[in-house]
Amino acid sequence: MRPRGVRLRVEELRGRDQERDRAEPGRARGRALAWFVHGCALIDLDVTTSSVVELYREVLALLDDPSQHRTGSGWERAVLHCVDLLREPLAEAAADPHRHASRDERRALAPLVEIPRQVLIGPGGAERTFPMACRNAAGALLDGVISPYRAVGFVAGVGYFYADRQLAAVREWRVRYEDEPDARPALDAEIRAWARDRA
């Protein structure tokens, strides 16, 4: 268990992210896209298929909202392309808010796993999941829809299930972000530089 002071700093950082989300309602669509791809990276590892279908439904609800900020970035275009490709295979699951988890597993799992990987990373197998999570976090950060702290949290959360060289640096940023409040501006710059290399 982490010391109480660290837990309080983590809660404070999460609270700051939530305040930022509330202060920027026009970026809800971008945040929904980021959380959706993050869910796809964690599907069957740490989240259920039904949870990811629900994230997809949140994206659909915001998709054509004229109050939502659009960047036209490569990340945004790629994730929107995923959403379009998922419309047919997820039509039934997305239309029914009272779905059954077992039905979601049968009908939605395969497209939710494969389509985002294919669009964001390209052909291959499960080894694409961690790079997809990195590209998602980097793109969402550079689009201004998530904070640097949330971006490293996304990567570290998926990286828990994968071994990757860059994961050590990301984990160190997260720990330093939580443990060294005075270092946060410098860490933000490092994290943004990392994101520019991956977006």
pTM: 0.91
Please list the ranges in the chain whose pLDDT falls under 70: 1-6, 97-104, 163-164
Q: Tell me the per-residue pLDDT of 113-133, one tens digit each, with 9 for 90 and over.
A: 999 999 999 999 888 999 999
> What does the alpha-carbon distance between residue 133 and residue 138 come to, in Å, rounded to a whole number?
9
Q: What is the pLDDT of residue 94?
A: 82
Long-range contacts of 55-60 (CB under 8 A, 24+ apart): 56/83, 56/86, 56/90, 56/94, 56/112, 57/94, 57/97, 58/32, 59/29, 59/32, 59/33, 59/83, 60/94
Q: Is 26 exposed, middle or buried (0-12, 13-18, 19+ CB in 10 A)?
A: exposed
Q: What is the pLDDT of residue 166?
A: 73
Q: What is the pLDDT of residue 162?
A: 79
Query: Measuring CA to CA, how many Å separate 191 from each of 134, 139, 150, 156?
Result: 12, 12, 11, 13
Structure tokens at 9: 């700093």
Structure tokens at 184: 């946060």
| Single-letter amino acid code for the residue at 132 | M
What residues have CB less than 8 Å from 55, skipping those under 6 apart?
32, 35, 36, 39
Q: What is the pLDDT of residue 167?
A: 84
